[in-house]
Protein backbone atom coordinates (compact mmCIF):
# COMPACT_ATOMS: atom_id res chain seq x y z
CA UNK A 1 0.00 0.00 0.00
CA UNK A 2 2.92 2.34 0.70
CA UNK A 3 4.00 2.78 -2.92
CA UNK A 4 0.49 2.97 -4.27
CA UNK A 5 -0.98 5.79 -2.19
CA UNK A 6 1.92 7.58 -0.55
CA UNK A 7 5.66 7.76 -1.07
CA UNK A 8 6.85 8.81 2.37
CA UNK A 9 8.24 6.36 4.88
CA UNK A 10 5.30 6.99 7.20
CA UNK A 11 1.57 6.97 6.63
CA UNK A 12 1.28 9.77 9.19
CA UNK A 13 3.07 12.20 6.86
CA UNK A 14 0.57 11.47 4.09
CA UNK A 15 -2.36 11.78 6.46
CA UNK A 16 -1.07 15.03 7.94
CA UNK A 17 -0.10 16.83 4.73
CA UNK A 18 -2.65 15.56 2.22
CA UNK A 19 -5.66 14.68 4.34
CA UNK A 20 -5.44 17.19 7.19
CA UNK A 21 -3.66 20.24 5.74
CA UNK A 22 -4.81 19.78 2.13
CA UNK A 23 -8.24 18.58 3.25
CA UNK A 24 -8.77 21.59 5.50
CA UNK A 25 -7.79 23.90 2.65
CA UNK A 26 -10.07 22.02 0.27
CA UNK A 27 -13.00 22.14 2.72
CA UNK A 28 -12.58 25.90 3.17
CA UNK A 29 -12.26 26.42 -0.59
CA UNK A 30 -15.45 24.45 -1.23
CA UNK A 31 -17.20 26.34 1.55
CA UNK A 32 -16.08 29.70 0.17
CA UNK A 33 -17.27 28.85 -3.35
CA UNK A 34 -20.66 27.73 -2.06
CA UNK A 35 -21.11 30.77 0.17
CA UNK A 36 -20.43 33.11 -2.78
CA UNK A 37 -22.84 31.13 -5.03
CA UNK A 38 -20.13 30.14 -7.49
CA UNK A 39 -20.78 27.21 -9.81
CA UNK A 40 -18.84 23.96 -9.48
CA UNK A 41 -16.25 24.32 -12.33
CA UNK A 42 -14.35 27.26 -10.74
CA UNK A 43 -14.07 25.17 -7.57
CA UNK A 44 -12.28 22.49 -9.56
CA UNK A 45 -9.77 25.07 -10.83
CA UNK A 46 -9.09 26.26 -7.27
CA UNK A 47 -8.68 22.69 -6.05
CA UNK A 48 -6.27 21.97 -8.90
CA UNK A 49 -4.08 24.85 -7.72
CA UNK A 50 -4.38 23.62 -4.13
CA UNK A 51 -3.21 20.15 -5.18
CA UNK A 52 -0.01 21.69 -6.56
CA UNK A 53 0.55 23.36 -3.19
CA UNK A 54 0.02 20.08 -1.35
CA UNK A 55 2.54 18.34 -3.63
CA UNK A 56 5.02 21.18 -2.99
CA UNK A 57 4.65 20.76 0.79
CA UNK A 58 5.45 17.06 0.41
CA UNK A 59 8.54 18.03 -1.58
CA UNK A 60 9.77 20.95 0.51
CA UNK A 61 9.22 19.58 4.01
CA UNK A 62 9.40 15.82 3.69
CA UNK A 63 11.62 15.15 0.68
CA UNK A 64 8.87 13.85 -1.58
CA UNK A 65 9.01 13.90 -5.36
CA UNK A 66 7.82 17.23 -6.74
CA UNK A 67 7.12 16.24 -10.34
CA UNK A 68 5.42 12.89 -9.82
CA UNK A 69 2.23 12.47 -11.83
CA UNK A 70 1.13 9.45 -9.80
CA UNK A 71 1.40 11.06 -6.36
CA UNK A 72 0.05 14.38 -7.62
CA UNK A 73 -3.06 12.57 -8.88
CA UNK A 74 -3.48 10.94 -5.46
CA UNK A 75 -3.26 14.38 -3.83
CA UNK A 76 -5.68 15.81 -6.41
CA UNK A 77 -8.27 13.07 -5.84
CA UNK A 78 -8.18 13.53 -2.06
CA UNK A 79 -8.43 17.33 -2.34
CA UNK A 80 -11.28 17.19 -4.89
CA UNK A 81 -13.29 14.71 -2.80
CA UNK A 82 -12.99 16.77 0.39
CA UNK A 83 -13.57 20.06 -1.46
CA UNK A 84 -16.68 18.69 -3.16
CA UNK A 85 -18.06 17.43 0.15
CA UNK A 86 -17.50 20.87 1.70
CA UNK A 87 -19.12 22.57 -1.28
CA UNK A 88 -22.24 20.39 -1.29
CA UNK A 89 -22.64 20.46 2.49
CA UNK A 90 -22.45 24.27 2.60
CA UNK A 91 -24.64 24.72 -0.45
CA UNK A 92 -27.34 22.43 0.97
CA UNK A 93 -27.37 24.32 4.27
CA UNK A 94 -27.41 27.63 2.44
CA UNK A 95 -30.29 26.67 0.14
CA UNK A 96 -32.40 25.48 3.06
CA UNK A 97 -31.73 28.54 5.21
CA UNK A 98 -31.92 31.13 2.41
CA UNK A 99 -35.04 29.69 0.77
CA UNK A 100 -36.72 28.04 3.76
CA UNK A 101 -40.19 28.39 2.23
CA UNK A 102 -39.15 26.51 -0.94
CA UNK A 103 -36.72 23.81 0.15
CA UNK A 104 -36.28 21.26 2.91
CA UNK A 105 -33.16 19.28 3.62
CA UNK A 106 -33.20 15.73 2.29
CA UNK A 107 -29.75 14.77 3.52
CA UNK A 108 -26.47 16.37 4.50
CA UNK A 109 -25.61 17.17 0.87
CA UNK A 110 -28.97 17.71 -0.81
CA UNK A 111 -32.29 19.49 -0.61
CA UNK A 112 -35.76 18.95 -2.04
CA UNK A 113 -38.78 21.10 -2.85
CA UNK A 114 -41.39 21.39 -0.10
Instruction: Say what the pLDDT of residue 68 is.
Output: 87
Return all residues near 52 (Cβ < 8 A) that are at least 6 apart.
72
Comparing C-alpha atoms, which of 98, 97, 81 is closest to residue 43?
Answer: 81
Residue 10 pLDDT > 90: no
Query: Are the C-beta atoms of residues 26 and 83 closer than 8 Å to each other?
Result: yes
Residue 21's contacts (CB-CB under 8 Å, 6 or more residues apart) are: 54, 57
Mean pLDDT, the chain, integer: 92
- Is residue 13 scored above 60 in pLDDT? yes
Tens digit of each residue's pLDDT (9 = 90 or more) over 57-110:
999 998 888 888 989 999 999 999 999 999 999 999 999 999 999 999 999 999
Q: What is the pLDDT of residue 2?
A: 59
Q: What confidence score (pLDDT) does residue 114 get?
A: 87
**What's the whole-number mean pLDDT along residues 6-18?**
82
What ranges do the domains of the chain cover?
2-113
Pairwise pLDDT comparison (20 vs 2), residue with the higher score: 20
Instruction: Give me the pLDDT at residue 64, please.
Output: 84
Task: Give the pLDDT score at 11.
Answer: 83
Amino acid sequence: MQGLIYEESSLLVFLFVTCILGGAGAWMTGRACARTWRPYPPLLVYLLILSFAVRFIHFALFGGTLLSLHYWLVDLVVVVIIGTIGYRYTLANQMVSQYYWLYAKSGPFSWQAK
